[in-house]
Amino acid sequence: MATDAERVRAQETAAPIDLWTRLKYDRNWLGLWFMLPAAAFLLLFLTYPLGLGIWLSVTDTRIGRDGVFIGLENFEWLNQDPVFWLSVFNTFLYTIVASILKFALGLYLAVLLNNHMPWKAIIRAIVLLPFIVPTVLSAIAFWWIYDTQFSIISWTLTELGLISENINFLGEPNNARASVIAANIWRGIPFVAITLLAGLQTIPQSLYEAATIDGASRWQMFRHVTYPMLTPIIAVVMTFSVLFTFTDFQLIYAMTRGGPANATHLMATLSYQRAIMGGNLGEGAAISTAMIPFLLAAILFSWFGLQRRKWQQGESDD
Amino acid sequence: MAEVRIRDVRKSFGHVEVIHGVSVDIADGEFVVLVGPSGCGKSTLLRMIAGLERISDGQILIGDRVVNQVPPKERDVAMVFQNYALYPHMKVYDNMAFSLKLRGADVGDLDARVRRAADILGLTALLDRFPRQLSGGQRQRVAMGRAIVRDPQVFLFDEPLSNLDAKLRVQMRTEIKELHQRLTTTSVYVTHDQIEAMTMADRIVVMHDGIVEQIGEPLELYDNPRNTFVAGFIGSPAMNFVRGTVRANGGPGRLEAGEGVSFPLGDGWSAHDGRPVVYGIRPEHLVMAEPGQPAVDGEIAVVEPTGAETLLVSRIAGAEFQAVFRERHAFRPGERVALAPLLDKVHLFDAETGQHL
């Protein structure tokens, strides 16, 4: 064993390492180098716009004129604004109804697609179609489907003798809400279905065989095997689904621009209208900033939903 | 408990027939092992008994009932899977209780049965754990517990020990055998491991390419294999085979194996003079030749001592021959060795059909 004196001598005789060599070869510094591009990317494209948005929301900036700090005045103003509160209501209605239906239908479709069937690969590809089509394009298609005069739905129902005059899909507030929700569901199902399908395929076949021999019916297998095994994936999918739906803009803007009478204005579309079309960047930014608490709540919900279940943890002996 | 009768059962996947008419009668309380190399159809046959695969043709009876059209849950069978197939999100207790819960069993009865099974398998302390928190052997025991709880007519085991390490496999083998002796439930056990088959079975069914090669008690298969496949499959290390022609030339015959090498034969083979055959001798039936004893001369290639015995690999007539010795010899690779087959343990098989002569 080396004495203290020997150790001190060893340190003195070791060649001094200059700073540049350390920066090049030290593990910790190396880690920093590797992290830098990603960090710069995040700062530039995520943190900066978010910070700027929040800053704008506490100023009275307009397009073409720098604003000054006005504190929470924008938010006080919005609090008095019935249109803003209508958009909050719309956003919640849109998100809750669409997410629940997307989940239910997506799960149903995933379970269906998980069965053996002919042309499985092709059917799965077809299911993905709504997700592949550009949003604006599908919005235009829906716009046409919902057209007051030429709607194919109205036409079919008329031909079948079920209605006598065309349905005013996008002209009447509640009809318009239902219509845009339906379009969103159509567009969102593939994401839910395909992701849940991927989750379903990770469930070992032998569990179903064991359940079959244990005497489980198809519903009991779903209830006691499929669903509990799928919960971690469901948490991820539904978090993303809720975030996408809550912040949806394209579909609404292309179909209704928030009309009729602001009945389909979501917070995102209202923010765009006030900030870009109306020029009130500060006020628009304030609407966007007001979305942050809700989105944070959704993320926190998923954070706890994503916590590994007790049964997924365990000893590391396998 | 019940007997299981398999009558000319066939199985096709699409146009490909993988089981070509298999018939096996399994007596009440018997422990039957289906053994064979992978792809021989043993697991498929087991899954047909369980009801997880449709029976393409033929009949399977459990008790007196033809079960071809009976759904798995009404067949009253329990199955232990190779990967255990425990429900990962349920604790041990719930895994074992699941089938009873589905049947709406009385809570008190259910609890008593789970605890009794846990007691039999030494799982009582683990009832509150999740499968992830168990070792391989413990999971295997839970899988068996799940089967025991139901008190079924037939236990089906699908390679249950394949995922365990060698030591644990030997231990669990004994446990399963003890369990069967205690419960005496009719059991069908699938494995590719002939040692497992030999040690556990009341009777072994040797399968190969979708047909039954031979059915019999372990030692019967070992002593009287019906053909070269069974002879080569049962026994470890495997039987040595050499092709050649029988020469009777008056007294005790011999086998001409080419390259001027001949193997001694006992009496009674003269009827097969001139016949091309496969000569089979087990490694444990080769001994060091005494002077004057009929023997074959080989060159030692590899010596593998295991302590209890020594495996000797030698080259004779271009082929490798294995011999096992319990006594210790000073073998060295490259040396010559004279090996004498025990003449009454020699097997001759027809060179074309592989059938035992």
Shortest distance between the Cα of B304 and any Cα of chain A, in A, equals 32
Nearest-Cα residue of chain B relative to residue A312: B132
Tell me whether residues B79 and A210 touch, CB distance under 8 A: yes
CA end-to-end span of chain A: 40
pLDDT at B127: 92
Report yes or no on B29 lying in a domain. Answer: yes
pLDDT at A158: 87
Rounded CA-CA distance B61/B68 in Å is: 8
| B289-298 core/surface letters (b: 16 or more CB in 10 A; e: else) | beeeebbbeb
CATH topology of domain A82-307: MetI-like fold (1.10.3720)
Same domain, B221 and B252: no
Same domain, B170 and B311: no
Chain A interface with B: residues with Cβ < 8 Å: 204, 206-207, 209-216, 220, 224-225, 228-229, 309-315, 317-318
From chain A, the residues in CB contact with B51 under 8 A are 212-213
Residue A59's beta-bridge partner residues? A69
**Which of A207, A213, A311, A315 is most worth mutating to test chain B (most B CB atoms within 10 A of its CB)?**
A213
Same domain, B189 and B276: no
pLDDT at A48: 93
Report yes or no on B255 lying in a domain. Answer: yes
pLDDT at A310: 61
Same domain, B155 and B73: yes
Query: Of A311, A317, A297, whose CA–CA distance to B136 is shortest?
Result: A317
Same domain, B208 and B261: no
Q: Is the ipTM of this complex over 0.90?
A: no
Of B81, B83, B99, the CB nearest to A215: B99
Shortest distance between the Cα of B333 and any Cα of chain A, in A, equals 41
- Neighbouring CB atoms inside 10 A of B249's CB total 9
Band of pLDDT at residue A8, cut at 50, 70 and 90: low
Are B152 and B185 a contacting pair, CB within 8 Å? yes
**Which of B47, B70, B79, B155 is most worth mutating to test chain A (most A CB atoms within 10 A of its CB)?**
B79
Band of pLDDT at residue A66, cut at 50, 70 and 90: confident
Nearest-Cα residue of chain B relative to residue A211: B99
pLDDT at A90: 93
pLDDT at A313: 54
SS3 label, residue A65: strand
Same domain, B14 and B72: yes
From chain A, the residues in CB contact with B62 under 8 A are none
pLDDT at B291: 84
Low-confidence ranges of chain B (pLDDT < 50): none
**Which of B133, B149, B158, B188 is most worth mutating to test chain A (most A CB atoms within 10 A of its CB)?**
B133
Tell me whether residues B146 and A214 touch, CB distance under 8 A: yes
Mean pLDDT of A60-72: 85
pLDDT at A173: 86
Tell me whether residues A213 and B73 touch, CB distance under 8 A: yes
Q: Where are the domains of chain A?
A: 82-307
Tell me whether residues A318 and B51 touch, CB distance under 8 A: no
pLDDT at A190: 92
- Touching check for B89 and chain A: CB below 8 Å? yes
- Dihedral (Cα; A278, A281, A283, A289), 10-degree rounding: 130
- Dihedral (Cα; B27, B32, B38, B40), 10-degree rounding: -20
What strands lie across the sheet with B77-80, from one edge to the other? Answer: B77-80, B154-158, B186-191, B31-35, B203-208, B211-216
β-strand B31-35 against B186-191: which pairing, if any? parallel
Q: Which of B233, B264, B294 is the last residue of a domain?
A: B233
Domain that holds residue B103: 4-233
Same domain, B15 and B126: yes
SS3 label, residue B196: helix
What pLDDT digit, counting tens, does each position of A68-119 carry?
Answer: 888 888 899 888 999 999 999 999 999 999 999 999 999 999 988 888 878 8
Tell me whether residues A206 and B51 touch, CB distance under 8 A: no
Are B132 and B88 a contacting pair, CB within 8 Å? yes
- Touching check for B325 and chain A: CB below 8 Å? no
Are B154 and B112 a contacting pair, CB within 8 Å? no
Same domain, B259 and B224: no
Rounded CA-CA distance B336/A295 in Å is: 83
Nearest-Cα residue of chain A relative to residue B83: A206
From chain A, the residues in CB contact with B44 under 8 A are none
Shortest distance between the Cα of B64 and any Cα of chain A, in A, equals 20
Report yes or no on B355 lying in a domain. Answer: no
From chain A, the residues in CB contact with B85 under 8 A are 204, 206-207, 209-210
pLDDT at B293: 83
pLDDT at A221 over 70: yes
Average pLDDT over chain A reads 85
- Tokens for A213? 């021999």
Same domain, B254 and B336: yes
Out of A9-13, A22-26, B38-42, B288-292, least confident range: A9-13
Size of interface A-B (CB pairs under 8 A): 74
β-strand B31-35 against B203-208: which pairing, if any? parallel
Rounded CA-CA distance A234/A242 in Å is: 12
Are A317 and B163 a contacting pair, CB within 8 Å? no
Nearest-Cα residue of chain B relative to residue A208: B85
Shortest distance between the Cα of B101 and any Cα of chain A, in A, equals 10
Out of A47-61, A211-225, B76-90, B267-281, least confident range: B267-281
Report yes or no on B205 lying in a domain. Answer: yes
- Dihedral (Cα; B259, B262, B263, B264), 10-degree rounding: 180
Nearest-Cα residue of chain A relative to residue B132: A314
Q: Which of B233, B267, B285 is the last residue of a domain?
A: B233
Shortest distance between the Cα of B124 and any Cα of chain A, in A, equals 19
- Touching check for B73 and chain A: CB below 8 Å? yes
pLDDT at A317: 39
Nearest-Cα residue of chain A relative to residue B49: A213
pLDDT at A316 over 50: no
- Neighbouring CB atoms inside 10 A of B155's CB total 24
Nearest-Cα residue of chain A relative to residue B164: A318
Report yes or no on B357 lying in a domain. Answer: no
The CATH number of the domain holding residue B46 is 3.40.50.300
Out of A157-171, A304-318, B50-64, least confident range: A304-318
Query: Of B191, B121, B124, whose CA–CA distance to B160 is shortest?
Result: B191
Rounded CA-CA distance B43/A210 in Å is: 15
Greater confidence, A201 or A306? A201
Per the structure, the count of domains in chain B is 2
Same domain, B175 and B281: no
Tell me whether residues A311 and B90 touch, CB distance under 8 A: yes
The CATH number of the domain holding residue B249 is 2.40.50.140
pLDDT at A299 over 50: yes
SS3 label, residue B277: strand
Residue type (1 letter), A218: R
- Touching check for B315 and chain A: CB below 8 Å? no
- Tokens for A169? 């899909």
pLDDT at A148 over 90: no
- Tokens for B334? 């490259």
Nearest-Cα residue of chain B relative to residue A204: B85
pLDDT at A311 over 70: no
Same domain, B199 and B281: no
Of A212, A313, A314, the CB nearest to B52: A212
Of B51, B85, B103, the CB nearest to A210: B85
Rounded CA-CA distance A215/A196 in Å is: 25
pLDDT at A172: 86
pLDDT at A315: 42
Band of pLDDT at residue A3, cut at 50, 70 and 90: low
Shortest distance between the Cα of B17 and any Cα of chain A, in A, equals 21
Nearest-Cα residue of chain A relative to residue B139: A318
Same domain, B250 and B217: no
